[in-house]
């Protein structure tokens, strides 16, 4: 069974997917990490992020290793531990730029599909999991929240980590990333026609998890009854 979870940055997809993976024992694909790794590798090579072919070559040749843990997926790039580095704001912005390049999306498609192994469940976290990468998924969720609420959560995270915060800049960055993710011509961020919409603006993660879980249980019962 495949469960896809799409939606904008900061809506709570990562936390929801971790809870779902823990509950189901399914493999977790953090597709955003692939775009972040591509951006980091390209920046390290000094490549211009608008140069489609060069960035796509980087995506094709990525030497990466993922290790699922209770705290989330840990990531290595060319043997170097980069889990924290790929979460930095400027890498998120760079990831959003490379994600708008069609050849890069093509290059990462096969890698993403390879996570779906026969007989094993998959939770796929991203922007186009339900619309492009796993159109056949049994359960499709689209998790969103207002830009203001997502900015508020990001500011709280940064303050907790005692990092410098410019609240207006955070909101602007979120809006800019939303615009780029929704307006790009290849695989724009939109809910699949058969996706269940969840809005976490006024819901805590436990309530979101309950709703996602009941969608999953319903789908499991349907497929069990067809056997």
- Which spans of this chain sit near ligand DC (rule: CB under 6 A)? 9, 31-32, 35-36, 92, 95-96, 99, 126-128, 177, 181
Residue 47, judged by CB atoms within 10 A of its CB (0-12, 13-18, 19+), counts as: middle
Answer yes or no: are the C-beta atoms of 108 and 35 closer than 8 Å: yes
Integer angstrom CA distances of residue 148 from 24, 136, 155, 204: 32, 33, 10, 15
Residue nearest to ligand DC (CB): 32
Least distance between ligand DC and beta carbon 224 (Å)? 29
Least distance between ligand DC and beta carbon 75 (Å)? 11
Least distance between ligand DC and beta carbon 3 (Å)? 14
Q: Nearer to ligand DC by C-beta: 180 or 220?
A: 180
Q: What is the 3-state secondary structure (H, E, C) of 138-188?
A: CEEEEEECCHHHHHHHHHHHHHHCCCCCCHHHHHHHHHHHHHHHHHCCCCC
Least distance between ligand DC and beta carbon 97 (Å)? 8
Least distance between ligand DC and beta carbon 214 (Å)? 24
Q: Nearer to ligand DC by C-beta: 96 or 200?
A: 96
Which residues are 27's β-sheet partners? 122
Query: What does DSSP assign to residue 29?
Result: E
Q: Nearer to ligand DC by C-beta: 3 or 99?
A: 99
Which residues are 75's β-sheet partners? 66
Q: Nearer to ligand DC by C-beta: 72 or 146?
A: 72
Q: Nearer to ligand DC by C-beta: 179 or 222?
A: 179
């Amino acid at each position: 069974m495949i469960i896809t979870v799409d939606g904008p940055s900061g809506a709570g997809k990562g936390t929801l997917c971790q809870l779902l993976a823990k509950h189901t024992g399914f493999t977790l694909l953090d597709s955003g990490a692939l775009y972040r790794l591509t951006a980091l590798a390209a920046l390290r090579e000094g490549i211009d992020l608008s140069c489609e072919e060069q960035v796509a070559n980087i995506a094709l040749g990525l030497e990466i290793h993922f290790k699922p843990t209770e705290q989330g997926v840990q990531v290595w790039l060319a043997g170097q531990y980069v889990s924290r580095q790929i979460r930095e704001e400027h890498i998120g912005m760079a990831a959003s730029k490379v994600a708008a390049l069609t050849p890069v999306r093509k290059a990462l498609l096969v890698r993403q599909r390879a996570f779906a192994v026969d007989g094993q469940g998959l939770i796929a976290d991203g922007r186009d999991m339900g619309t492009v990468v796993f159109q056949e998924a049994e359960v499709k969720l689209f998790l969103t929240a207002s830009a203001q609420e997502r900015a508020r959560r990001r500011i709280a995270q940064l303050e907790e980590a005692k990092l410098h915060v410019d609240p207006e800049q955070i909101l602007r960055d979120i809006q800019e990333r939303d615009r780029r993710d929704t307006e790009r011509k290849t695989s724009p961020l939109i809910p699949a026609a058969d996706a269940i919409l969840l809005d976490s603006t006024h819901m805590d993660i436990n309530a979101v998890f309950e709703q996602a879980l009941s969608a999953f249980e319903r789908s499991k019962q349907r497929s069990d009854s067809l056997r």
